[in-house]
Amino acid sequence: MKIVSTVKELQHALPLEQTIGFVPTMGYLHEGHMSLVENARCENDFVVMSIFVNPTQFGPNEDLDRYPRDFERDEKLAREAGVDLLFYPTTETMYPLDMARVTVRHGADVLCGASRPGHFDGVLTIVSKLFNLVRPTRAYFGLKDAQQVALIEGYVRDYFVPVEIRRCPIVREETGLAKSSRNVYLTDEEKEEASQIYKALTVAKASLEAGDDPKKVKQQLTDRLDEIPNSQIDYVEVVDYPTLGVVSNDSTELLLAVAVQFERARLIDNVIWKKG
């Protein structure tokens, strides 16, 4: 595995006539990231991973400064997973000037976007930069942040970006807790409590499958999450997927998405239900 940190080094290291699978990350890698690499490894000749904690997707009171970082650990895991090229740029490399940023309109004012204004502008700005630099054949994103995946798919479609977006399933702990770099902020007690999130989502999905009204299911899901100690609900939503709009009779996929705040960690999770 080769490690590069500048644009020039990256451009020289990329293969010219091979398919490239790309896994963009913010580091502090876990099994979820490794599953993305595994998928990329299976479908492409060459795998590129980036590690960059993107400042433009963090709000003024969020955890940019304390976001977990451990490059030596990440390097070892990436190497073991079969990454061919690791791109580890500085903030100055990715943002040499305070230039215009991508602005997201549709779908960015709901779910995480409602409580984190500007977050997805920052996400799509860095994704755009990375896609232009790496020029991947396929890019791999986990469905834990299903809103992010939907918005990236929309960006690629609307701007005619020549890359295939691959949705990858959520990787979970044995308890059901979705793997996340921010899980390191949870106490052992909070980890046990947080495992109730997925259990509540599973019950809600079963209710949809049984034919219950989405509004009723949303309320039942909210009630269950309210029972989790030491936590506070940020949002509970049932929306059409991937439009992120209001559920209608024409909806074929529904996203049940939640965000729950613990003392030091805000956790997101979801399930997708397909009609029929």
The residue ranges of every structural domain in the chain are 2-168, 181-274
> Residue 20 in contact with residue 136, Cβ under 8 Å?
yes
DSSP3 helix / strand / coil % (the chain, rounded to 5): 40, 20, 40
DSSP, collapsed to helix, strand or coil, labels residue 197 as helix
Q: Which residues pair with 256 in a beta bridge?
A: 238, 271
Superfamily per CATH, domain 2-168: HUPs (3.40.50.620)
Residues 6+ apart with CB under 8 A from 71: 27, 51, 88
What would the two tokens of residue 45 be? 């000749």
pTM, 2 dp:
0.96
160: left (phi over 0), alpha (psi -120 to 50) or beta: left
Please report how many Cα atoms fall inside a 13 Å half-sphere around the Cα of residue 174, on the Cβ side.
0
- At the topology level, CATH places domain 181-274 in Pantoate--beta-alanine Ligase; Chain: A,domain 2 (3.30.1300)
Closest CA to 170 of 160, 162, 179: 179
Residues 6+ apart with CB under 8 A from 59: 116, 117, 118, 119
Question: Strand 2-4 relative to strand 85-87: parallel, antiparallel, unpaired?
Answer: parallel
CB-count burial class (<10 Å; 0-12, 13-18, 19+) for 172: middle
> Residue 49 in contact with residue 25, Cβ under 8 Å?
yes
Q: Which residues are known to be catalytic?
A: 33
Per-residue pLDDT of the chain (276 residues; tens, 9 = 90+): 999 999 999 999 999 999 999 999 999 999 999 999 999 999 999 999 999 999 999 988 888 999 999 999 999 999 999 999 999 999 999 999 877 789 998 899 999 999 999 999 999 999 999 999 999 999 999 999 999 999 999 999 999 999 999 999 999 999 999 999 999 999 999 999 999 999 999 999 999 999 999 999 999 999 999 999 999 999 999 999 999 999 999 999 999 999 999 999 999 999 999 987
Element (H, E) at 215: helix 214-226
Closest CA to 111 of 253, 233, 275: 233
Q: Phi and psi for 181 in degrees, rounded to 5?
A: -60, -30
Question: Strand 20-25 relative to strand 266-274: parallel, antiparallel, unpaired?
Answer: unpaired
Distance between CA 118 and CA 168 in Å, rounded? 25
Q: Which residues pair with 270 in a beta bridge?
A: 257
Q: Write the CA distances from 148 to 151, 191, 201, integer angstroms.
A: 5, 24, 19
pLDDT of residue 82: 97
Q: What DSSP character marks residue 50? A: E
Question: Strand 232-240 relative to strand 253-261: parallel, antiparallel, unpaired?
Answer: antiparallel
pLDDT of residue 271: 98
pLDDT of residue 99: 75
